[in-house]
Structure 1
Amino acid sequence: MQNPRLASRYAKSLVDLASEKGQLEAVRADMLVLQQIIRGSRDVANLLKSPIIKPDKKQKILSAILEGKVSDLTSAFIRLLVAKNRESSLAEITTEFARQYNQLKNISKVKITTAIPLDNAILGAIKQKVEAGTDKTIEMETVVEPDLIGGFVLETEDRLYDASVLRDLKDIKKQFTQNIYTPNIK
């Protein structure tokens, strides 16, 4: 069950506590590890959501999985979630933590989708262009989608630039199906 308000509050508490203790970067790394573990293992995701498994058993399993991979602060946070029966929201909390961290550090995520992989020189040029239009630091994510045929799709937090050949072909198809210059013959 998704609960964005709960995830936001727990993530904010963790961001504040980590900042106060000077461990924000370590906790961020821990949240990335947790995201990878939860997304990479269906068993872990099911464990977190299972109402059948007792909290003490969940805590033992999570401790065994995360031993040596996360900091003490993150371990204590996970123990708190399990004690409060909120472990099912851990995936949401990690995502929200990343969003709040990016907002705190003035980082903007940009996703670029292309038909073929881009080399680092082109990615660097694109990153410079995007950074020039904003005062934020840019984190680039690249995706290869052969269906685009050519061009690119650039997604920022609040904008989408679709300069792909696929979109152009769809626009042309739409123009042909809705040709306003020929009368409807019945």
Structure 2
Amino acid sequence: MSKSGAAKRYAIALFELAQEHNQVAKYDQEIRIVKEVIDGDSEISKVLEAPSLSLADKQALVNTLTAHASVTVSNLLKLLVERRRANEISAVCEEFIHLANEERGIAEAVVFSTRPLTEEEEASVSHTFSRKVGKQTLNIENIVDPNLLGGLKVRIGNRIFDGTLRGKLNRLEKQLTTNL
């Protein structure tokens, strides 16, 4: 998803407020929930962007979505809806999460494996790969891929570390064919 300049500005404003009130972790948790809900249900986005629905109805929906969130996060979403930027909510959330992660030295990682990773394996992957990308730790999303023969594939930002059997076989094949 491309991030607009407006999404970055809103995220930075929220992040600065979070820092000012020492609430970065709390807002991060709330923003992650909002992003999950918005990304998980396309109908909510359509309703918030619908020109036929009144602003009061849209803000009532935002109130429902943010019933357990802080006033600041709720007000941000209402402001985005009011300024007809509901389509930017996910991008604002994504940018805020990025800013919060940068401050805490955390990177988001997607780990593809043949089976769910145990807590110990996740900790080991986090320890090993966080150093490779210059971070303190990783937030790991584990995706089970039955098409993998074995090993792991780790995606951190735009970097991919392929330790799968298929990846190793492909590298071996390439090495053997270039030496002929």
* TM-score (norm. length: structure 2): 0.84
Deviation at 1:120, TM superposition (A): 2.5
Answering whether residue 17 of structure 2 is matched by residue 17 of structure 1, we say: yes
Alignment of 1:98-109 (within 5 A): 98-109=97-108
Q: Is the 8 A contact 1:147 1:166 kept in 2?
A: no
Q: Is the 8 A contact 1:2 1:89 kept in 2?
A: no
**Structure 2 match to 1:66:** 66
Answering whether residue 57 of structure 2 is matched by residue 57 of structure 1, we say: yes
Partner SS for 1:151: coil
CA distance in structure 2 between the partners assigned to 1:4 and 1:55 by the alignment: 23
Partner SS for 2:47: helix
- What whole-Å deviation, never above 9, does each CA across 1:80-113 have from its counterpart, x for those lacking one? 2222222221111111111111112221222221
CA distance in structure 2 between the partners assigned to 1:102 and 1:144 by the alignment: 24
Q: Quick one: percent identity of the two aligned structures?
A: 22
Deviation at 1:11, TM superposition (A): 0.3
CA distance in structure 1 between the partners assigned to 2:172 and 2:4 by the alignment: 40
Greater displacement, 12-21 / 155-164: 155-164
Deviation at 1:146, TM superposition (A): 1.0
- What whole-Å deviation, never above 9, does each CA across 1:11-51 have from its counterpart, x for those lacking one? 00110012112222221121011012112222212112323
Q: Is the 8 A contact 2:113 2:145 kept in 1?
A: yes
Shift in alpha-carbon separation, 1:170–1:53, aligned structure 2, 3 A: farther
Q: Is the 8 A contact 1:38 1:91 kept in 2?
A: yes
**Structure 1 match to 2:34:** 34
Deviation at 1:2, TM superposition (A): 5.4
Shift in alpha-carbon separation, 1:97–1:172, aligned structure 2, 3 A: same
CA distance in structure 1 between the partners assigned to 2:12 and 2:25 by the alignment: 15
Deviation at 1:131, TM superposition (A): 3.6
CA distance in structure 2 between the partners assigned to 1:27 and 1:54 by the alignment: 28
**Structure 1 match to 2:154:** 154
- What whole-Å deviation, never above 9, does each CA across 1:108-163 have from its counterpart, x for those lacking one? 22222111222222222222222444352222221110111111111223421112
CA distance in structure 1 between the partners assigned to 2:175 and 2:20 by the alignment: 58
Of structures 1 and 2, the larger Rg is shown by 1
- What whole-Å deviation, never above 9, does each CA across 1:29-75 have from its counterpart, x for those lacking one? 210110121122222121123233232221122213322x2111111
CA distance in structure 2 between the partners assigned to 1:7 and 1:146 by the alignment: 36
Question: Match for 1:22: what amino acid?
Answer: N
**Structure 2 match to 1:95:** 94
**Structure 2 match to 1:83:** 82
CA distance in structure 2 between the partners assigned to 1:101 and 1:8 by the alignment: 13
Consecutive unaligned residues of structure 2, counting only runs of 5 or more, are none
Q: Is the 8 A contact 1:113 1:143 kept in 2?
A: yes
